[in-house]
């Protein structure tokens, strides 16, 4: 539903003259549940198992597969899959930049990294990453990505000392 909605919004913007072309869309799914990416590649939609930490995108039978697949095709985009390990890595990377993302949202960033490795996205292209879910939605996998935080005494000097001795 999200990718079809993004396409509809961009299409409407183009018709209104707000933008002059549709951006290419990159659909990202977990390797553990990728019915749309598989359908894009094979031309056949099949129910998928739901075996991923990114439970918000673990949808074995997508609600609007025709709209989602059509949106990406119409934008001359692509679908890509990422591993749970790549998702955890993306959670760490985003966290270093102040973005606390839950696994399904981090999957989008992991997909951008993979698309760049596969040269689907070129080095000189401008990219927008849509962050859709906060890390507090799934604190267990946040701990899995970065470990359990150590408590800091509730005063500013203790916090400054922690930053000075352990970095960001």
pLDDT tens across the length of the chain (168 residues)? 899 999 999 999 999 999 999 999 999 999 999 999 999 999 999 999 999 999 999 999 999 999 999 999 999 999 999 999 999 999 999 999 999 999 999 999 999 999 999 999 999 999 998 998 999 999 898 889 988 888 889 999 998 998 888 765
Of 107, 128, 111, which is closest to residue 57 (Cα–Cα)? 107
Amino acid 168: pLDDT:
55
Q: Are 66 and 114 in contact (CB under 8 A)?
A: no
Amino acid 164: pLDDT:
87
* Residue 86 vs residues 52, 54, 162: alpha-carbon distances, Å: 12, 11, 28
Axis crossing angle, helix 84-96 with helix 103-117, rounded to the nearest 10: 100
Any idea what DSSP says for residue 33? B
Amino acid 76: pLDDT:
96
Amino acid 71: pLDDT:
96
| pTM of the predicted protein model | 0.86
**74: Cβ contacts below 8 Å, ≥ 6 apart:** 7, 11, 22
Of 35, 13, 37, which is closest to residue 23 (Cα–Cα)? 13
67 token code pair: 């709209």
Between CA 125 and CA 86 the distance in angstroms is 22
Between CA 10 and CA 165 the distance in angstroms is 46
């Amino acid at each position: 539903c999200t990718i079809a909605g993004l396409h509809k919004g961009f299409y409407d913007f183009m018709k209104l003259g707000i933008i002059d072309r549709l951006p290419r869309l990159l659909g990202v799914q977990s390797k553990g549940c990728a019915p749309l990416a598989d359908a894009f590649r094979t031309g056949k939609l099949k129910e998928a198992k739901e075996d991923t930490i990114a439970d918000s995108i673990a949808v074995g039978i997508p609600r609007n597969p025709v709209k989602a697949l059509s949106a990406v095709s119409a934008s001359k985009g692509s679908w890509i899959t990422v591993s749970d390990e790549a998702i955890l890595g993306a959670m760490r990377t985003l966290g270093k930049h102040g973005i606390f993302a839950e696994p399904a949202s981090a999957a989008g960033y992991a997909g951008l990294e993979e698309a760049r490795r596969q040269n689907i996205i070129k080095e000189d292209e401008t990219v927008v990453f849509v962050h859709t879910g906060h890390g507090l939605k799934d604190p267990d996998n946040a701990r899995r990505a970065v470990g359990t935080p150590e408590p800091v005494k509730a005063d500013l000097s203790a916090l400054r000392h922690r930053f000075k001795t352990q970095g960001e």
